[in-house]
Structure 1
């Protein structure tokens, strides 16, 4: 365990150092070309997946048909690793993200450059207005919009309700929604340094078509994401599924 912790510490340190190095290399191009921002985040995320494999034993896999074009992706969020996997796979990813991340060095500027939508947490109505203003802005770049319907990282086995924001975006955009499940929290936790060996997976599920009624959309979204995430965790030896009330909405 001590050796794995030391390996994890080195891995985390070099991961953030590499972020600065990639930014230094790509920024002169990103200033003039948005496509360079996508190239930068793809290169960085693939680098993190590669180093995670040989430094701390986390193999990673993206399953299902990778969405392309204008589409909404509603994903389970367990740790930074599911972001890494999704971004490495999607051609033009952009996120609904916490507004505070805009001020994060390097990360914030690149997030805005690829079209991420910052939202202040707090008052629900204000947050939804911010989301919709950002999503429908005329200068918003086309791409795959990722939202975390529970609003934050959720540890394996924990329950947090699915929020209405994803349904509002789904209704307003009229886009297909692709649910995404994951088990990454078993190996890369929300907090702390220790990384555990294993196969981390993000799986894109069957799309939900446009036009579903709000309650039906949220019910299907939660059921499909939670069942698939539980299945992925059980494949990895996790014996305690999420509480049954996660599927009762």
Structure 2
């Protein structure tokens, strides 16, 4: 059974990257003309991956809670590429704080820049945060929902990692509600490797955190909401912390 699922996973991964190439080329003229064209291409790709995962590898997906449509910051649990697609595909005009190196990635990098993603270098923390704040301010005219991963990278289920201060700096600067997002997708789609498990992957939009908290208060509330709900979703999926 494992071998069969592994073969299905490999085929699914190949189809996923082929679809990225095909859609990237097909939508390129539209994407070059307007941000809406790039958003349309990315939303189409998100739908394709979720649809193909459901029958190719038996991985269903579900978005819970109320995806925001206004000007907000979204602070999300990040476990794999799948949560990126599920979150982005659920909101109208998403844009990410992304690792600077990704802007050089074929298709992903160029479309990311077209939809308004903000590249951030991993360097001296203070310098990186100042540049991030400046770039976010410069990109405000484009509007939309700004997505940031407060732990800075993909974190597998059951693994604890600190919440970085950059998200608190953005919360203070933007003076917008922050919508936390929990996830269990790493139970089925791990950080590394080709194998994908069947099951139900969930991302859940949680109660917004309103502006006005101190940095310490904000980080405490954010971590408690995301981690508590992500752990519950993982348990719902059959994950045990000692796995």
Fold agreement, TM-score > 0.5: yes
Alignment of 1:6-85 (within 5 A): 6-85=7-86
Query: What is the RMSD of the two structures over their aligned residues, measured on CA atoms?
Result: 1.2
What does the per-residue CA deviation read over 1:24-74, in whole Å, with 9 as the maximum and x for residues that have no partner?
110011111110111100000000000001001110000001101110000
Where does structure 1 differ by over 6 angstroms across 4 or more consecutive aligned residues?
none
| Counterpart in the other structure of 1:214 | 215
Alignment of 1:1-249 (within 5 A): 1-137=2-138, 140-240=141-241
Equivalent residue of 2:33, what SS?
Answer: coil
Work out the CA distance in 1 between the residues paired with 2:87 and 2:139. 25
What does the per-residue CA deviation read over 1:218-242, in whole Å, with 9 as the maximum and x for residues that have no partner?
0000000000000101111112289
What does the per-residue CA deviation read over 1:86-129, in whole Å, with 9 as the maximum and x for residues that have no partner?
01101001000000000000110100000000001121012102
- Farther-moved stretch of structure 1 (191-200 vs 137-146): 137-146
Query: Which 5+ residue runs of structure 2 have no aligned equivalent?
Result: none
Tell me how many residue pairs correspond in the alignment.
242
Equivalent residue of 2:238, what SS?
Answer: coil
Distance 1:9 1:138, change over 3 A: closer
TM-score by length of 2: 0.97
TM-score by length of 1: 0.95
The offset of 1:140, in angstroms, is 4.7
Equivalent residue of 1:60, what SS?
Answer: strand
Distance 1:38 1:138, change over 3 A: closer
Work out the CA distance in 2 between the residues paired with 1:131 and 1:190. 25
Work out the CA distance in 2 between the residues paired with 1:16 and 1:137. 32
Contact residue 78 and residue 190 of structure 1 kept, 8 A? yes
Equivalent residue of 1:17, what SS?
Answer: helix
Distance 1:173 1:79, change over 3 A: same
Work out the CA distance in 2 between the residues paired with 1:197 and 1:51. 12
Distance 1:138 1:5, change over 3 A: closer
